[in-house]
Amino acid sequence: MTPEIAIAIFLTIATAATPLLIAALGELVVERSGVLNLGVEGMMVMGAVTGFGAAQITGSAYLGLLAAIICGALFSLLFGVLTLSLATNQVATGLSLTLLGLGASGMIGENFIGLPGIKLKAIEIPLLSDIPVIGRLLFAQDLIFYISILLTIAIWYFVFKTRAGLTLRSVGDNHTSAHALGINVLKVRYLAVMFGGACAGLAGAHLSLVYTPQWTENMTAGRGWIALALVVFASWRPLRIVAGAYLFGAVTIAQFHAQAQGVAIPSQLLSSLPYIATIIVLVLISTNKRMTMKNTPASLGKPFVPDR
Amino acid sequence: MIRIQLEKRAQHSAIFSLTSPLIALAITATLGAIMFLLLGKSPTAALYSYFIEPLTDMWSIHELMIKAAPLILIATGLSICFLSNNWNIGAEGQFILGGIFGSALPILYPEFTGPMVLPLMLIMGIIGGAAYATIPAFLKAKFSTNEILSSLMLVYVAQLFLDWLVRGPWRNPEGFNFPESRTFHADAILPEIWFASGRAHWGFAFAIIIAVLMWFVLNKTLKGFEVRVLGLSPRAGRFAGFSENKMIYTAFIVAGGLAGLAGISEVSGAIGQLRPVISPGYGFTAIIVAFLGRLNPLGIIAAGLILALSYLGGEAAQISIGVSNKVSAVFQGLLLFSVLACDTLIHYKIKIVKTMRGKAAL
Amino acid sequence: MKKITKTILGAAAATLFASSAMAADAKACFIYVGPIGDFGWSYQHHQGLLAVEEAYGDKVETAYLESVPEGADAERAIERFARSGCNIIFTTSFGYMDPTNKVAAKFPDVKFEHATGYKRDTENVATYSSKFYQGRYIQGQIAAKLSEKGEAGYIGSFPIPEVVRGINSFMLGAQSVNPDFKVKVVWANTWFDPGKEADAAKSLIDQGVDIITQHTDSTAPMQVAEERGIKAFGQASDMIEFGKKTQLTAIIDDWAPYYVERVGAVLDGTWKSQDVWHGLAEGNVVMAEYANMPDDVAAMAKETEEKIKSGELEPFTGPITKQDGSEWLAEGDKADIGTMLGMNFYIKGVDDKLPQ
C-alpha cells in the first residue's frame, strides 16, 4: 500500500468517524450527568435538515452549522422539559424524540430534496499542512474535523480536571447527595442535555454539509444509535470515544476494501462485524469490574425530583 | 424566572390515573389541530381520520388487532425486564430470531404437514427469541456487560442474519432468486380468529391472554413481588434471599420468549413467509408501549391499541386529507409526549412557580 | 347496532368535511416503499403519479401512501386503498407481490398493477417492469472507452437478479469495446444510505478505479466522484445537479408513460391483465444527456441506444460464457425470460464472487 492510498483511506475513515465522534461526545456529557437521551438520532437528523436549509437560504455553510447547533440544543430542550421538569421516563421520552425528529425533519426538508448542498470548505492550516503525510491527514480538513478533535480534548479536560466537571460527575453518580451538597441538579442536567443536543445537531450538519452535501429523508440512517453505542463502548471516557469512532469507521471502510479486493465473505457478515466487535470489546471492558464501576454514572436514567 | 416544580404525592392519584390519558388526548388534539391549521387542513377532518375513522368498520378493527398484537406481546415481556431493572432494548432482534426459528420447520421441511406443525412452530419461535435474549442476559450476569448496548447491537446482527438467510440458503427455490423464502403451506399459517370477518389471527388472542396472565403473576404472586423488589433495590432483594442473577435470566428469557412468539405469530399469521424485513420496528415501538402502559400488562393492552390506532389513523389521514406520513409521525410524537407528560400528574403535583434569582439557592 | 353506529359516524363525517366528494371518473392509487423524498426509486414513481394528474386533470383522483413497509403493513395499505374506492392501484416494490395478489383476489373489480413481480394470480393483476439493463450496456461501452485504468467500480445494493443482470449487461457493453475490461463490485447492502454509499464510492476510488456506477439510490456516490474528479453514472433519476462535471449519463426510470397509459385504459374500459417489460424503445428507460465525454464517445453511445431501441441489438445475445467458463448462450442465441428474471450468475470477466 502506497502512502497516497493510506492517506486517502484515513481521510475516508475520518469523514465517517467525525459525526459519530461529535454526537457521542455530546451524549457522553449528557450521560455523565445521569441522563440517558436515546433521542440522538432524532436530534442529529434535525441538525442535518436545519444545517442544510440554513446554508441554502443564507448561502453560507458556516451559518448552516450555527443553525444546526442551535436547533439541536432547542430540540433537546423538549426532552429536557419532559424528563427533568416533569420527571418522565427517559428511555420512552428519548425514543419518542427520535420519532418526532425523523417526522419533523422530513416535513421541514420537503423542499430541499434534489438540491445539491453547499459543502463546507477544507481549511488548510498554513505551514502545518505542508508537513509530509501528517499535514494532509490532520491539517487540511474541514472545520468540523478540527472541532471534533478540540472538543474531545476539551471535554476530557472539563470532565476530569475542572471543578465544574466534578460537579457534573457527582450529579451523575449520586444526585441525592449532590443535591444535599447544594448543587442545582436539574440546572446541571439541563445544561448537559442542551450541550448534547447541540453536539448532535452539529454532527447532523456534518452529514448534510460535509459527508454527503445534500438533504434526503432519514439520511442519518442509524448513526445516532451507533453514537449511543460508542458512549458505552468507551465506558464514558472521551479519549476512548475517539478510538471507538475511528475503529467503527475503519471496520466499515475496510469491508468495502476487502470486497473490492475480491474477498469472498458474505457481505452481511462483514456488515455485522462492527456490531459484534462492539459487543466483544464491551465484554472485555466490563470484565474489569473496578474500572467499570468507577466510570459508569450510577444515576444513569433515574429521574430526580428535588424535595425542595 | 418561571420554574416547574414537582411535589411528590403521598400516594398515587387515583383520579389522575384515570384522567391523565384523557388530558393527554385533549392536549394532543389541541396541538394537532394547530398543526393541521398551519398546514391548511381541516382539523376536524384530520382528528376524525386519526381517532374515529379506523374504528368505523370491522375490517379496520381487525387490522388494528393485527398491528397491536406484536406490540402488546413484546411490551408485556419487556415490562418484567424493566420492572426488574433489566434494560433489554433488543426485543426487535428477539422478535426476528423467533420468526426465523419458527419458520425453520415449514421452510426446511415443507413436506411435513398436519396439525402438529403450528404448535411446533410456535414453540420453536419462543425458544428462538428466548435463546437470543439469553446472550445479553449471560453477558450481564457473568461479566456485568451493559445490557442496553449488547441487546441493541444484537438487533443489527439479527437483521443481517435474516437478510443472509432469505437471500442465501433459505431462498425460495421457485422464486426466481428473489430474496424471500418459500410461502408457508396451509398447516403452517396461524388461523384467523373469526373466519371471514377480517384477517386478525390468533396472535392477538395470545397477546391478550398472556398480558392478563402476566398481570396476575406480577401483581398477585410472590414472583411478581420478587421482580419489584429486585427492581427497586437489588440490595433489599438480596437480603430477602432473591437472586439477582436468576432474575436477570428470568426477565430476559420471558421477554425474549414473548418477543419470539410475537415474531413467529407475525410471520405465520400476517406475512406467510420469511422476508428480508419482517418487522417495521415493533421491538422498539414496544418499548414506548411498555412505558405508556406504565409497565402494567393491562395498561399495555390499552397502550398497544392506542399506538396501533395512531398508525392506522396516520395512514387514513394520508389518504383522506392528503397529509404526508411525516405529518403522521410528528402527530404520533406529540401524542407520546403528551401521554408521558400527563402521567407525571399521577405521582406528582405540578406547580408553576416564579422564582427570583438567588432565591432558589436558599 | 354496528350498522347504526356506522351510519351515524358516516353522516357525521360527511357533514364534517364535504370537500373530498369531488366526482372524478377514476381514482388511481400508489404505494411506495420509500419516502417520495429519496430522489431515487420512490421519487420517480411519484413523478409518474404527477404525470397522471397532469394528463387527466379532474377526471382522475389520485392518492398515495409512502414508506409502506413490506410485510403485514403492505397488505393493509393495499386493502385500504381497495376499500376506499380506488379503481387502479400501483404497488411499486417487489416485496408487495404476495399482498397485492391476496388483496386482488378479494376485490375483483379493482385493477392492480405490481411493479417488478411475476405473480398474476387473478385476472385483475398486471405486472410491469423496466429493462434497465439496456442502459447498463451503454454505460459499459462508455466506461470502457473513457477509463484509463481499464477498470470501473460498481456499487451494488443487494445481489438480487435485477442488480446482477445490470452488472452483466454493463460488462458485456464494456467487453464489446475492450475485451480485457475489469469491474470491481462492492455491495453496500442497502438501497439507500447516503453516507455508506459515499464510503463505498471513496473506497473504490482509493482502490484505483476512475469511473463509478451505482445501483443504489442516493446521489452521494455522484458527489464523491465529482469531488475526486472522476466520472460517474447516475441512477434512477437525472443526477446532473450533483455532478455537473461528472455525470456521463444516467439511467432514468420514467414510469410516466406507462402510468398514464394504464390509467387511461381504466378510464375507457380497455384495461386487461398483462406482463410488460418495457425498455428504451417504449420510453420507460431514458438515458440522461450524454455529457462530460468526447463527441465520438457520445456518438457511439447514441448509436448503441438507437440500435437497442430498434431491436437490432439485444445485450444478452450469444456467444456468452458464464464466469466459471461454461457456455451459457451459443452464437446468436438470446436469453430466455426465466433465466433473465432469475439471473444468479456472473458472465465471464466479472472479477467478483457473487454472494450466494
pLDDT in tens, B220-266: 888 888 888 888 777 788 888 888 889 999 999 999 999 999 999 99
Q: Which residues of chain B neighbour C49 with C-beta distances below 8 Å?
A: none
Here the CATH number for the domain that contains residue A12 is 1.10.3470
Strand partners, B57: none
Instruction: Decide if B209 is inside a domain.
Output: yes
Report yes or no: A229 at the B interface, CB cutoff 8 Å: yes
| Alpha-carbon distance values, A61 to A68, A274, C150 (Å) | 10, 32, 38
- pLDDT digit string, tens, across residues B64-118: 999 999 999 999 999 999 999 898 989 999 999 999 999 999 999 999 988 999 9
Residues C28, C81: contact at Cβ < 8 Å? no
CB contact under 8 A, A221 and C189: no
Residues C87, C294: contact at Cβ < 8 Å? no
Residues B91, B226: contact at Cβ < 8 Å? no
Residues A101, A45: contact at Cβ < 8 Å? yes
Residues C141, C173: contact at Cβ < 8 Å? yes
Nearest chain C residue to B180 by CA distance is C95
What's the farthest any 2 CA atoms get from each other in chain B? 78
List the beta strands (DSSP E) in C32-105: 60-65, 88-91
Residues 6+ apart with CB under 8 A from C83: B59, C107
- DSSP code at position A129: G
Cα separation, C84 vs C86, in Å, equals 6
* Angle of CA points C201, C202, C208, to nearest 5°: 95
Cα separation, C126 vs C112, in Å, equals 6
Q: What is the pLDDT of residue C356?
A: 61
CB contact under 8 A, C70 and B275: yes
Residues C287, C135: contact at Cβ < 8 Å? yes
Distance of CA A117 to the CA centre of its chain: 22
Q: What is the pLDDT of residue C21?
A: 43
Counting every residue, how long is chain A?
Answer: 308
CB contact under 8 A, B348 and A305: yes
Q: What is the pLDDT of residue A291?
A: 63
Cα R_g (chain C), whole angstroms: 22
Cell of B162: 435474516
- pLDDT digit string, tens, across residues C147-204: 999 999 999 988 888 899 999 999 999 999 999 999 999 988 888 888 999 999 999 9
Q: In this structure, how many other beta carbons lie within 10 angstroms of the beta carbon of residue B120?
A: 16
Instruction: Decide if B237 is inside a domain.
Output: yes
Instruction: Decide if A301 is inside a domain.
Output: no
Cβ-Cβ contacts under 8 Å between A and C: the total is: 108
- Tell me the backbone φ, ψ of residue C193, rounded to 5 degrees: -155, 90
Which of B162, B171, B178 should be substituted to probe chain C, the one whose Cβ sees the most C Cβ atoms within 10 Å?
A: B178
Report yes or no: A82 at the B interface, CB cutoff 8 Å: yes
The answer for C 213-242 residues in CB contact with A (under 8 A) is: 218-220, 223, 227, 237, 241-242
Q: How far is B270 from chain A (nearest CA, A)?
A: 25
Instruction: Decide if A117 is inside a domain.
Output: yes
CB contact under 8 A, B163 and A229: no
Query: Of all residues in chain B, what percent carry a pLDDT higher than 70?
Result: 96
Cα separation, A203 vs A23, in Å, equals 6
Cα separation, C224 vs C220, in Å, equals 6
Cell of A9: 483511506
C314 SS3 class: coil
CB contact under 8 A, A85 and B4: yes
Count of structural domains, chain B: 1
- pLDDT digit string, tens, across residues B166-183: 988 898 887 777 788 998
Q: Which residues of chain C neighbour A217 with C-beta distances below 8 Å?
A: 35, 37-38
Q: What is the pLDDT of residue B101?
A: 97
- Tell me the backbone φ, ψ of residue C300, rounded to 5 degrees: -60, -45
Instruction: Decide if A239 is inside a domain.
Output: yes
Residues A6, A191: contact at Cβ < 8 Å? no
Count of structural domains, chain A: 1
- Tell me the backbone φ, ψ of residue A181, rounded to 5 degrees: -80, 0
Residues B235, B50: contact at Cβ < 8 Å? no
- Helix orientation angle between A3-32 and A163-173, rounded to the nearest 10 degrees: 70
Mean pLDDT of B325-351: 85
Q: In this structure, how many other beta carbons lie within 10 angstroms of the beta carbon of residue C239?
A: 28
Q: In this structure, how many other beta carbons lie within 10 angstroms of the beta carbon of residue A121?
A: 11
Residue in B282, B35, B31, A151 with CA at minimum distance from that of residue C73: B282
Q: Which residues of chain C neighbour A16 with C-beta distances below 8 Å?
A: 195, 199
Strands C211-214, C26-31: parallel, antiparallel or unpaired by DSSP?
unpaired
Instruction: Decide if A307 is inside a domain.
Output: no
The answer for C 103-122 residues in CB contact with A (under 8 A) is: none
| Alpha-carbon distance values, B119 to B195, B202, B259, C22 (Å) | 20, 12, 16, 51
Q: What is the pLDDT of residue C11?
A: 43
Instruction: Decide if A72 is inside a domain.
Output: yes
Distance in Å from the first CA to the final CA of chain B: 15
Q: How far is B194 from chain C (nearest CA, A)?
A: 16
Q: What is the pLDDT of residue A233?
A: 79
Q: What is the pLDDT of residue B1?
A: 60
CB contact under 8 A, A221 and C241: no
Instruction: Decide if A115 is inside a domain.
Output: yes
Mean pLDDT of B37-50: 88
Instruction: Decide if B76 is inside a domain.
Output: yes
Instruction: Decide if B305 is inside a domain.
Output: no
Q: Which residues of chain A neighbour B343 with C-beta distances below 8 Å?
A: 88
Domain, as residue range, for B86: 65-289
Cα R_g (chain B), whole angstroms: 22
Report yes or no: A273 at the B interface, CB cutoff 8 Å: no
Residues C198, A18: contact at Cβ < 8 Å? no
pTM surpassing 0.90?
A: no
Instruction: Decide if A305 is inside a domain.
Output: no
Q: Which residues of chain A neighbour B164 with C-beta distances below 8 Å?
A: 266, 268-269
Amino acid found at A146: Y
Strand partners, C128: C115, C276
Strand order in the sheet with C211-214: C182-187, C151-156, C211-214, C231-236, C247-253, C285-287
- DSSP code at position A142: B
| Cα torsion through A173, A178, A180, A186, rounded to 10 | -110
Residues 6+ apart with CB under 8 A from A1: none
Cα separation, B59 vs C81, in Å, equals 13
Q: What is the pLDDT of residue C13?
A: 44
Residues A127, A216: contact at Cβ < 8 Å? no
Complex ipTM value: 0.85
Q: How far is A275 from chain B (nearest CA, A)?
A: 5
Which of A85, A217, A218, A296 should be substituted to probe chain B, the one whose Cβ sees the most B Cβ atoms within 10 Å?
A: A85
Q: What is the pLDDT of residue B136?
A: 95
B98: enclosing H helix or E strand:
helix B91-108
Residue that the C-alpha cell 420527571 belongs to:
A87
Task: Give chain C's domains with CATH numbers.
Answer: 24-130 (3.40.50.2300), 132-253+284-341 (3.40.50.2300)
Q: How far is A229 from chain B (nearest CA, A)?
A: 6
CB contact under 8 A, B6 and A87: yes
Which of B325, B327, B328, B330 should be substituted to probe chain C, the one whose Cβ sees the most C Cβ atoms within 10 Å?
A: B325
Domain, as residue range, for A200: 3-295
Cα separation, B77 vs B95, in Å, equals 11
Q: What is the pLDDT of residue C244?
A: 92
Q: Is B112 left (phi over 0), alpha (psi -120 to 50) or beta?
A: beta
Cell of A188: 446541571
B136 SS3 class: helix
Cα separation, A247 vs B215, in Å, equals 45
Strands C151-156, C182-187: parallel, antiparallel or unpaired by DSSP?
parallel
**Residue ranges, chain C, pLDDT below 70:** 1-23, 356
CB contact under 8 A, B324 and A110: yes
For C186, the closest of A207, A219, A260 (CB atoms) is A260
**Residue ranges, chain A, pLDDT below 50:** none
CB contact under 8 A, C223 and A213: yes
DSSP assignment of B178-226: -S--PPPPGGGSPPBSSTTT---BHHHHHHHHHHHHHHHHHHHSHHHHH
- Tell me the backbone φ, ψ of residue C42, rounded to 5 degrees: -70, -35
Instruction: Decide if B272 is inside a domain.
Output: yes
C288 SS3 class: coil
Amino acid found at C298: A
Residue in A38, A36, A9, A26 with CA at minimum distance from that of residue A254: A9
Q: What is the pLDDT of residue A296?
A: 74
Strands C125-130, C275-278: parallel, antiparallel or unpaired by DSSP?
parallel
Cα separation, B335 vs B238, in Å, equals 40
For C71, the closest of B42, B57, B271 (CB atoms) is B271
Residues C63, C50: contact at Cβ < 8 Å? no
Instruction: Decide if A306 is inside a domain.
Output: no
Nearest chain A residue to C184 by CA distance is A260
Q: What is the pLDDT of residue A120?
A: 87
Residue that the C-alpha cell 419532559 belongs to:
A82
Cα separation, B108 vs A100, in Å, equals 42
